């Protein structure tokens, strides 16, 4: 039921991760993923994800994350698995492709084809990913919400 007295949450602009060192974090994530750097200072870096971004902030002090995590969507989940293995990153036990970075941030890798969110075609095109599609399960889930992916 709609409630006009409260704003509606509509998505994420960014996720911020605390790391020990910005340059070390960029080197670590650079071994795993292709990305464009949106900006960098001595205490923060911003990795461009098209119309969203990942912020890295210096000075993590809390213990490693257990259940708390975020799902990072990639164009090819199996390529991500191979990159993690090649970099010697330990995968966490469980049904998903989860790992912790050197600072204890827990990340779950999810393939774009299998998620309910859909980037607009113009955003995918701008990212050089216009070829990405959804699998049948994701298409069904989107259709049930009246959010069928745009035609190619």
Per DSSP, the residues of 42-60 read SSEEEEE-SSSEEEEEE--
pTM above 0.95, yes or no: no
- Element spanning 140, H or E: helix 136-144
All structural domains of the chain: 14-59+68-144 (3.10.180.10)
Q: Are 61 and 105 in contact (CB under 8 A)?
A: no
Q: Is the pLDDT confidence value at 150 over 90?
A: no
Rounded Cα gap, residues 132 and 147, in angstroms: 17
Half-sphere exposure of 146 (CA within 13 A, CB side): 0
Residue 117's pLDDT band (boundaries 50, 70, 90)? confident
Mean pLDDT of all residues in 85-93: 97
Question: Quick one: what percent of the chain has pLDDT higher than 90?
Answer: 72
Q: Is the pLDDT confidence value at 1 over 80?
A: no
Rg (CA), the chain: 17
Rounded Cα gap, residues 56 and 124, in angstroms: 23
Residues 36, 105, 23, 29, CA torsion sign: negative
Could you report the per-residue pLDDT of 2-49, keeping only the tens digit for each?
678 998 888 888 999 999 999 999 999 999 999 999 999 999 999 999
CA dihedral 53, 57, 62, 66 (to 10 degrees): 20
Among all chains, which residue has been given the structure tokens 């912790």? 100
């Amino acid at each position: 039921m709609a409630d006009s007295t409260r704003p509606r949450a509509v998505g994420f602009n960014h996720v911020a991760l605390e790391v020990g060192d910005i340059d070390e974090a960029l080197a670590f994530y650079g071994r795993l993923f292709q990305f464009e750097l949106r900006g960098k200072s001595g205490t923060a870096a911003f990795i461009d994800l098209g119309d969203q971004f990942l912020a890295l902030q210096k000075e993590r002090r809390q213990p490693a994350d257990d259940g708390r995590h975020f799902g990072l969507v990639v164009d090819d989940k199996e390529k991500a698995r191979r990159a993690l293995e090649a970099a010697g990153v330990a995968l966490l036990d469980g049904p998903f492709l989860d790992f912790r970075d050197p600072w204890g941030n827990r990340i779950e890798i999810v393939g774009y084809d299998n998620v309910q969110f859909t980037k607009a075609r113009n955003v995918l095109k701008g990212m050089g990913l216009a070829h990405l599609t959804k699998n049948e399960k994701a298409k069904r889930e989107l259709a049930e919400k009246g959010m069928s992916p745009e035609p190619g």
